[in-house]
Amino acid sequence: MLKQKLNKIRLMPKRFSILVLSSLFTIAVISTSLVYANHLDDDISGLREENASHQSAVDELEVEADSYQSAINRLQDRINGVQAQIVANQNKHAQLQRDIIAAEEELARQKDVLGQNIKTMYLESQISTLEILAASKSLGEFIDREQYRNAVQDKITATVDKIAQLKQELVVQKNTVERLIAEQTQLQNNLSADRNEQSQLLAYTEGQQAGYTQKIKSNNAKIAELKRQQALENIRRFGGSGGRLGGGGYPWGYAKCIHTGNVEGWCSNYDWAVGGSIYNWQTGGYGFRNCTDWVSFRIRSSGGYVPSGMGNANQWDNRAPGKGYVVSSTPKVGAVAVSNFGFYGHVMYVEAVNEDGSILVSDYNRAGTGKYDANVISPAGLLFVYF
């Protein structure tokens, strides 16, 4: 086909041939640019789909991790409760040990008292009641000594019974506490094993999350590189001086890159921030130092109005009619020039329309550096929205 066209060109006048060759070259350049743009769009779309899949997996893992963490928290609460019981039982056990020691000391003392009392009673048992009466100075003393002997006998009997009962109770209590401590220790071991298992599962989940997060980070880096290539292609298509920081009277021209904290330089996601926000709500919620925010500011400051919700630059010509605005292929001063090239596209403000059909445009972020630029370009391939 191209060979036939060249043959026709040989038969044409020289001047006309030059025009045709120029047109063919222009078509070839535009076709190359469109192929390049489509290639970048496909690459970015593929990476974004992959990121969406990874993010979905990360979200599921986060839910699973939260479930594991909840289980661990419940186990920890049980462990804390068991630990409190163990401490209480250990304190009780210690108190019983002290009670046993005190009881044993009391038993020894009672044994001594018992021995003395038995000795006294033995000696007195060798004396008849008549002898005790004869030895007494009075009848009252005899009664007192008789009552004392009976009281000692009763006390000895009560003490022996009490000591036997105390020893029996202490043995039962001691065995009970030791059994409880053994049970609590076993439960503690079981809970510790459960917690270790849950920790291992959580660590495994976190490892999976880290893997997906790394993939997302890698893909974001690839997307940033593709955006950089698009920015370079914007420069090739529209030219420009490389941009000027804070130009055009734009109040937010020195907003810092949220990723680097710098005013100058490349901002990988075009995310410049003011007061912690990357969206400029004074101009409709568009991103600071982006092309969309610039044209919205420029039109509003000139008495026009750009509504919110226009989307990315390459969506403006599609959404404008639904919001009541005219879209045309004819440029005019004050219109927004829309380029659908690239993943996000690009918008520029038409400052002037020259007699030769070229237009003077101003824009921000042409090269991905968030800077102001203005120069004369051809309106070919652009659409214009009249706000």
DSSP string, 296-337: HHHHHHTT----S---SGGGHHHHTGGGT-EEESS--TTPEE
Give me the pLDDT at residue 19, please: 39
Give the list of residues 6+ apart from residue 226 with CB closer than 8 angstroms, or none.
Answer: 40, 43, 44, 47, 343
| Tokens read off for 81 | 């409760």
Q: Are 288 and 278 in contact (CB under 8 A)?
A: yes
**pTM of this structure:** 0.50
Give the DSSP letter of residue 242: S
Q: Are 45 and 196 in contact (CB under 8 A)?
A: no
Give me the pLDDT at residue 24, please: 41
Q: Find the helix or strand (DSSP H, E) in which 156 lies.
A: helix 139-238
Other C-beta atoms closer than 10 Å to the C-beta of 205 total: 20
Give the list of residues 6+ apart from residue 289 with CB closer than 8 angstroms, or none.
Answer: 250, 252, 253, 255, 267, 270, 272, 364, 365, 370, 371
Q: Which residues pair with 287 in a beta bridge?
A: 279
Give me the pLDDT at residue 320, please: 97
Half-sphere exposure of 176 (CA within 13 A, CB side): 9
Closest CA to 291 of 191, 197, 362: 362
Give the DSSP letter of residue 248: T
Q: Find the helix or strand (DSSP H, E) in which 373 lies.
A: strand 372-377
Give me the pLDDT at residue 152, please: 63
pLDDT, mean of each 10-residue run, the chain (387 residues):
40 40 42 45 62 64 64 68 72 72 71 64 56 58 62 69 73 76 77 72 71 77 74 81 91 93 84 92 95 97 94 94 96 96 89 96 92 95 96
> What is the Cα 26 distance to its own chain's centre?
51
Calpha distance 291→355 (Å, rounded): 26
Half-sphere exposure of 351 (CA within 13 A, CB side): 12
Burial of residue 310 (CB within 10 Å: 0-12, 13-18, 19+) is: buried
Provide the 3-class DSSP secondary structure of residue 229: helix
Q: What are phi and psi of 40, to 5 degrees?
A: -65, -40
